[in-house]
Chain A
Amino acid sequence: MTDLSAQDAPFAGSSGSALVRRRNRKQVIVQGLGLAAISFAALMLFILIASLVSTGYKAFTQTHITVEVFVDPDEVSVEKLPRGGFREVLLASLQKEFPEVTERAELRSLQNIFSNGAQFALRDMVAADHSLVGQTVTLTVPVSDPFDQLAKDLVKRETPEAQRRVNDREIGWFDALDAAGKISQPVNWGLITNADSRFPELAGLKGALVGSFWALLVCFLISFPLGIGAAIYLEEFAPKNRWSDLIEVNINNLAAVPSVVFGLLALAVFIGWFGMPRSAPIVGGMTLALMTMPTIIIATRAALKAVPPSIREAALGVGASKHQVVFGHVLPLAMPGILTGTIIGLAQALGETAPLLLIGMNAFITSAPSSPFDSATALPTQIFIWADSPERGFVSRTSAAILVLLTFLITMNAVAIYLRSKFERKW
């Protein structure tokens, strides 16, 4: 044993190398399982992102049709604005392209190439500039959802006609228009500049974005001061007794209460008892504030704890009062940690859905709210509404909306991580 170099396997266990092999195999198995577990998680994340991107990217462009519209004074007159035969005018412009179409039913399906919003776009143009009546204007408007899907190859031409949402004849028209260079696929700014709509090609996230903004603003304005105040009190001033223990346990529990319960609270108290408006971002913001507050309190307390006692002692030593120590020295040093926690808390609030459903922020609203008291949706609830909509066109819109939401969340988290790494200091 003493002459190890003579052995073929130096330092082998005395019971032979079978045991060693078994032990090494166990090591490999454990590592392999670990790697497999991580790979599984990574694979799921990849599938999640890949499925969202692959279905969602098509919603970032929108198929448009460009037509020369003669604003016929017989149909549209300045006196009658904003009423007028805009549909007819639009149809006439297409009839010029396909003079062979005369039958009523066919005319109707020809008209259906236009999105329902086209006539309103034309109306707004004419209403803004009366001199257009009697002129020919060039108009680029979205096509309706079935044709948008056709252009994006979501409706396959190989599918039997009966199972297709556009028939052969309609495809023929569309291809003819495409060949004439009248079909284009520009970036779909409507996705963020339009509010919700029943028509997928017109539906956008503006209402949801503005609604989420108001709700998050209210949430921040309430939870940030309250959370920091509570945390400073509990960490620095509160006597350690049964009361402060109770508050502590209570806050930790509050952070783990299911979000839907906060929705019930908001429904019963804010809407039922206080009579606040349903579907309003102010109520949503207050609900989210109650959920975010524990997160901020916990993060703030951790940040305050991380400031070493020597700083406090130094300040106390020169005769500062407890308040002056805390607000003059400890709090500024803890601020990066507090901000990081707050941003992470707000990011969670931005993605929160269930409580907003209960207070009615899943309403169908076709205009963006102008104040936190108006009815509105929020980003996650808008995703829920679209995911629930039967129209095929909403599938890619939902994925696109999720991508928008994830972009916001990742940005917020990146800012938090940046703050943490920039200001983190080891004492």
Chain B
Amino acid sequence: MYDTPTLERTVDNSTVKFSARDVHVFYGETEAIKGVDVDILDKTVTAFIGPSGCGKSTFLRCLNRMNDTIDICRVTGKITLDGADIYDKRIDPVQLRAKVGMVFQKPNPFPKSIYDNVAYGPRIHGLARTKADLDVIVEKSLRRAALWTEAKDRLNEPGTGLSGGQQQRLCIARAVATGPEVLLMDEPCSALDPIATAQVEELIDELRQSYSVVIVTHSMQQAARVSQKTAFFHLGDLVEFGETGQIFTNPKDPRTESYITGRIG
């Protein structure tokens, strides 16, 4: 990624990044995702909303094959990233995950220094040849995660010593540092207070300039605030997918309408 920084790439806003066709996910015998078709665009924030247990997080974790770590989980159907099938046998999920970064529900900094947290990805993927290169990446990532001013004087302090909102931004910086093309965010604000949430939301909007962002959220206000596209999941089905404005003001499916108006949830 170091050689071809994603920032300078100009891609048309309507390029399809991820394309999922007839995706089913099974946990043992239970079917958690029942045939989802969706296209996720580059340079766009796509929000997955829906009641708890609807499968939105499960589907998100399919996109970088994090579900592989669960023994009983089985995925069928086809998901392509830039046209390549990510469930192809020749695909190394490790390399995939470098390209599709992920931010988790609870901030999970490693028990290492702030610097080492951010530098971890570039190090294992060999993105920096010298210490100076690494310093540049760390600074750029922290800046992009809007953490640089707060963290620049304490890079060697443990990441676990930061506040909740700072920790989550550190995790975003860590994900950004590997130079991903897509950022998956699994309820990134659910463990944060309103002020930290606002900071992270602002950040997500900025990240849209460079990445395709997929965010799972419980909060419809958040989805309305940050996303351009919204997908509504219900009981493992993708009920409706479209422009965020259209979904919230003029839903086509009665289930979406019920959810948005608060009748199911």
Chain A residues close to B by CB (< 8 Å): 1-5, 9-15, 19-20, 23-24
A13 proximity list for chain B (CB < 8 A):
95, 98, 125-126
User: Which 6 residue pairs spanning A and B have beta carbons closest together?
Assistant: A11-B95, A4-B84, A15-B126, A19-B126, A5-B84, A4-B82
Contact B11 A2 (CB under 8 A): yes
Assembly CA distance A401 to B186 (angstroms): 60
Contact B90 A15 (CB under 8 A): no
A1 proximity list for chain B (CB < 8 A):
4, 181
Contact A14 B90 (CB under 8 A): no
| B residues 137-163 touching A (CB-CB < 8 Å) | none
Show 22 residue pairs from A and B whose CB-CB distance is below 8 angstroms, ordered by the A residue: A2-B15, A2-B82, A2-B181, A3-B82, A4-B81, A5-B82, A9-B90, A10-B90, A10-B91, A10-B95, A11-B84, A11-B92, A11-B95, A11-B98, A12-B95, A13-B98, A14-B1, A14-B4, A15-B2, A15-B125, A15-B127, A24-B92
Chief secondary structure at chain B's binding surface: loop
> Residue of B at shortest CB range from A1?
B4
Chain B residues close to A by CB (< 8 Å): 1-4, 9, 11, 15, 81-84, 86, 88, 90-92, 94-96, 98-99, 124-127, 181
B127 proximity list for chain A (CB < 8 A):
14-15
Most buried by A among B126, B127, B181: B126
> Residue of A at shortest CB range from B179?
A14
Contact A20 B83 (CB under 8 A): no
A14 proximity list for chain B (CB < 8 A):
1-4, 127
> Residue of A at shortest CB range from B92?
A11
A23 proximity list for chain B (CB < 8 A):
94, 124
B84 proximity list for chain A (CB < 8 A):
4-5, 10-11
CB contact under 8 A between A5 and B83, given known A10-B90, A14-B127: yes
Contact A10 B88 (CB under 8 A): yes
CB distance from A6 to the nearest CB of B (A): 9
Most buried by B among A3, A10, A12: A10
Contact B96 A11 (CB under 8 A): yes
> Residue of A at shortest CB range from B99?
A11
Assembly CA distance A23 to B95 (angstroms): 11
CB distance from B85 to the nearest CB of A (A): 8
Assembly CA distance A5 to B88 (angstroms): 11
Sample of 9 further A-B pairs with CB below 8 A, known A10-B84, A10-B90, A13-B125: A2-B11, A4-B81, A5-B83, A5-B84, A11-B92, A11-B96, A12-B95, A23-B94, A23-B124
Contact A4 B83 (CB under 8 A): yes
B91 proximity list for chain A (CB < 8 A):
10-11
B86 proximity list for chain A (CB < 8 A):
11
B181 proximity list for chain A (CB < 8 A):
1-2
> Residue of A at shortest CB range from B83?
A5
Assembly CA distance A13 to B178 (angstroms): 10
> Residue of B at shortest CB range from A18?
B126
Assembly CA distance A20 to B126 (angstroms): 9
A5 proximity list for chain B (CB < 8 A):
82-84
